[in-house]
C-alpha cells in the first residue's frame, strides 16, 4: 500500500519506505501468463514444428528460454473468446485424425494440432529446472459446451480411477493425472461478442449447477467465477448468487490511449476496480453467510494489458507494436497489483507470445518488446510482501482514459507511481514510474540502504519502440550509494533494490 501527499511549487518530492511494515503477501500467481488459440500465440508462437528453432515436439526453444526468465507460475489456456466454441476432444488423440473446425471468435480455422496433451507437455518443458511446476489453468466452454463435456475434461485431466476418460488419457500415453487445479467457469459470458452470450441471471444459475457437479467429481479443484471488470452490476449479481461455490472472481481490463499521460495513468482504473470488487466480494460473503473459516475469495485478474483493438484488431492477430509509453503503463499496472496484493489471488498478462504480447517471434528469433522489461524486472524482484511507503509528489490532474477515472483520483495522479516490497531473504525493492514526459525529479528517499542496485527502463522519447533489428528501449543497470537526492529522469521506470 502506498499513501500520498500532494505538493506544489518548489517543494522537494519524497518517497519513504518502511520495510518493517509488511502489509500483505504478494501471491506468486500475480505473474501468470495466458495462451489462447488466437493469431500467432499458439501456432507460430509456442508451437512451430517446421521451424529449425523448434525441438522434436515442435516447441520453440527460444520462446521457452525467454519465458523461463519470467519465472511464470501459471498459464491460462485455451481462451479467451476462443473457448466459447472449443471442444477439447477435437484436440486429443492422433494428430492426423483431429478435425479442422471453423473458429468463430477470431474468424479463422482451428487445426487442433495443439491441444490438451500438447499444452501439458509444453508446461512440463517450461517447468524444467524450476522447484515448482508451471500450473495449468483451463477455461471451460460456457458457450457451445455442455456440462457433460466439462466433466469429461476434468476426468481426462485429473481422473485416477478405472473410468472412461481417465483411461483415454492413459491410452494417449499419459498414465499419471495432470492434476489441473484451476478451472474457469466460462470467459466473458456477459459480452455481446460472445457465442451464446448470457444474462447475469442465466450465467449465475448455470455456474452454480456446473460448480456443484464439478466438485462432486473433483472436490480439490479451484473454481473461478466469470466477472466483468469489477465495477459492474454483473459482478455484483454473480457474486451474490455464486459466492458459496467459487474460489476466485475473474475480472478483465485493457487500457490504451495514443496520448501519453492518458495512456500511463489508465491502469489506475484497475486499482479502483480491484477495490470495488473486493468490496463486492465482502458484501456477498456477509449477506450469504459465508463461514469465516472458508479461505478469502480473491480476485483473478486473468486478462490485463495495454491493448487498443482498433490499432491491433483481434481478427487480424492483435500484434501490437509497443512504445516506451506502453512499457511505463505496464509498470503502473504491476505497481497496482503490488499495492493491492491483499486482494489478488492471480493475474495473467494477455498474452504470452505474439498476441498483444511483450514477446514476439520471427522466423529466425525473438523480439523483446518495450513492455518485456518492466514485466521482467517485476517478476524477478517484486515478490514477497508489500511494504508501506509514502509518496510526496506533484500530480497530473488532467483528462483521463476512461473519463470516470479522473473523478476518482481526488487531487490527481502522482507523477511518481510507486510500490515497494520485501522478500524473505531481506532484500527490499522499490518500483518507481516517473510518468512525466517533460520533467526529471530529484527525490528525497528515506528508508533506503547505502548499497543500492539500480535498474532503469528508458528511451529517448515516449514513442520509442523495439522491433526486429532495432532496440530503442532496454534496461540499464547501475549502483547508488544512498547519499543525497535520487534523480528519476522523465518517462522512466526505475527499480531500486538493497539489502535491509
**56 contacts 64 by C-beta, under 8 angstroms:** no
Side-chain-side CA neighbours of residue 232 (13 Å): 17
Q: Where are the beta strands (DSSP E) in 234-379?
A: 248-255, 298-306, 344-349, 359-362, 365-368
E strand or H helix that includes residue 474: strand 474-480
| Separation between Cα atoms, residue 227 and residue 71, nearest integer Å | 27
CA pair distance 406, 397, nearest whole angstrom: 7
Q: Taking a C-beta distance cutoff of 8 angstroms, is the pair 115, 93 a contact? A: no
Handedness of CA 440, 442, 446, 449 (dihedral sign): positive
Marked catalytic residue, from 36, 110, 303, 320: 303
Helix (H, G, I), strand (E, B) or coil at 83: helix
> SS3 of 417, please?
strand
DSSP H or E stretch at residue 466: strand 466-467
Task: Give me 383's grid cell.
Answer: 515478490
Is 188 marked active-site? yes
Question: Grid coordinates representing 472?
Answer: 530503442
CA dihedral 335, 340, 345, 347 (to 10 degrees): -30
Q: Where would I find the H helices in 25-178? A: 61-68, 116-126, 147-158, 164-171
Instruction: With residue 384 as reference, give the H or E element that holds it.
Output: strand 384-393
Which residue of the set 188, 241, 271, 320 is catalytic? 188
DSSP 438: S
| 75, 123 contact by CB (below 8 A) | yes
Residue 213, SS3?
helix
Is there a catalytic annotation at residue 303? yes
Cell output for 220: 480439490
Contact assessment for residue 305 and residue 254, using Cβ atoms and an 8 Å cutoff? yes
Distance of alpha carbon 91 from alpha carbon 110, whole angstroms: 10
Q: Are residues 415 and 441 in contact, defined by beta-carbon separation less than 8 angstroms? A: yes
Helix, strand, coil percent values for the chain (each to nearest 5):
30, 30, 40
Q: Specify the pairing of strand 33-34 against strand 74-77.
A: parallel
Give, for 428, the enclosing helix (H) or strand (E): strand 427-434
Measured CA to CA, the distance from residue 65 to residue 45 in angstroms comes to 13
What is the full DSSP assignment across 45-82? TTB-TTSTTB-TTSBBHHHHHHHHTTT--EEEES-SGG
- Please give the positions annotated as active site: 188, 303
Amino acid at each position: 500500500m502506498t499513501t500520498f501527499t500532494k505538493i506544489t511549487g518548489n517543494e522537494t518530492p519524497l518517497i519513504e519506505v518502511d520495510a518493517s511494515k509488511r502489509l500483505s503477501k504478494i501471491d506468486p500467481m500475480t505473474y501468470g501468463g495466458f495462451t489462447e488459440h488466437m493469431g500467432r500465440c499458439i501456432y507460430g508462437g509456442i508451437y512451430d514444428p517446421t521451424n529449425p528453432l523448434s525441438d522434436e515436439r515442435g516447441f520453440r526453444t527460444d520462446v521457452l528460454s525467454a519465458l523461463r526468465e519470467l519465472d511464470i507460475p501459471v498459464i491460462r489456456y485455451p481462451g479467451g473468446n476462443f473457448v466459447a466454441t472449443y471442444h477439447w476432444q477435437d484436440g486429443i488423440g492422433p494428430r492426423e485424425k483431429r478435425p479442422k473446425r471453423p473458429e468463430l471468435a477470431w474468424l479463422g480455422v482451428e487445426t487442433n494440432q495443439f491441444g490438451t496433451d500438447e499444452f501439458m507437455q509444453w508446461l512440463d518443458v517450461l517447468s524444467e529446472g524450476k522447484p515448482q511446476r508451471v500450473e495449468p489453468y483451463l477455461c471451460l466452454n460456457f458457450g457451445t459446451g455442455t456440462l457433460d463435456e466439462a466433466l469429461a475434461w476434468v476426468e481426462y485431466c485429473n481422473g485416477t480411477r478405472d473410468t472412461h476418460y481417465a483411461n483415454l488419457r492413459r491410452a494417449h500415453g499419459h498414465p499419471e493425472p495432470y492434476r489441473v487445479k484451476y478451472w474457469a467457469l466460462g470467459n466473458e459470458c456477459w459480452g455481446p461478442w460472445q457465442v451464446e452470450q448470457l444474462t447475469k441471471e442465466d450465467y449465475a444459475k448455470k455456474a452454480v449447477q456446473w460448480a456443484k457437479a464439478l466438485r462432486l467429481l473433483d472436490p480439490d479443484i479451484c473454481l473461478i467465477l466469470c466477472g466483468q471488470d469489477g465495477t459492474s452490476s454483473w459482478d455484483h449479481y454473480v457474486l451474490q448468487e455464486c459466492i458459496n461455490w467459487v474460489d476466485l472472481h475473474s475480472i478483465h481490463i485493457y487500457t490504451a490511449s495514443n496520448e501519453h499521460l492518458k495512456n500511463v495513468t489508465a491502469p489506475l482504473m484497475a486499482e479502483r476496480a480491484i477495490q470495488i470488487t473486493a468490496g463486492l466480494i465482502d458484501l456477498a460473503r456477509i449477506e450469504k453467510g459465508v463461514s469465516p473459516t472458508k479461505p478469502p475469495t480473491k480476485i483473478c485478474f486473468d486478462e490485463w494489458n495495454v491493448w487498443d483493438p482498433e490499432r491491433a484488431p483481434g481478427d487480424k492477430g492483435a500484434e501490437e507494436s509497443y512504445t516506451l509509453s506502453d512499457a511505463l503503463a505496464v509498470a503502473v499496472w504491476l505497481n497496482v497489483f503490488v499495492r493491492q496484493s491483499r486482494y489478488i489471488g492471480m493475474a495473467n498478462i494477455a498474452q504470452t507470445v505474439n498476441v498483444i504480447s511483450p514477446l514476439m517471434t520471427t522466423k529466425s528469433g525473438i523480439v523483446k518488446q518495450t513492455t518485456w522489461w518492466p514485466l521482467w524486472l517485476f517478476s524477478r524482484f517484486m515478490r514477497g510482501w508489500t511494504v508501506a511507503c509514502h509518496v510526496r509528489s506533484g500530480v497530473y490532474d488532467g483528462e483521463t482514459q476512461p473519463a470516470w477515472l479522473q473523478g476518482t483520483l481526488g487531487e490527481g495522479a502522482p507523477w511518481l507511481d510507486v510500490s515497494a516490497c520485501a522478500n524473505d531473504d531481506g532484500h527490499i525493492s522499490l518500483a518507481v514510474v516517473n510518468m512525466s514526459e517533460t520533467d526529471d525529479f530529484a527525490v528525497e528517499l528515506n528508508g533506503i540502504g547505502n548499497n543500492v542496485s539500480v535498474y532503469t527502463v528508458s528511451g529517448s522519447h515516449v514513442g520509442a519502440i523495439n522491433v526486429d533489428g532495432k532496440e530503442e528501449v532496454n534496461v540499464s543497470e547501475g549502483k547508488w550509494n544512498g547519499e543525497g537526492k535520487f534523480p528519476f529522469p522523465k518517462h522512466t521506470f526505475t527499480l531500486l533494490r538493497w539489502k535491509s
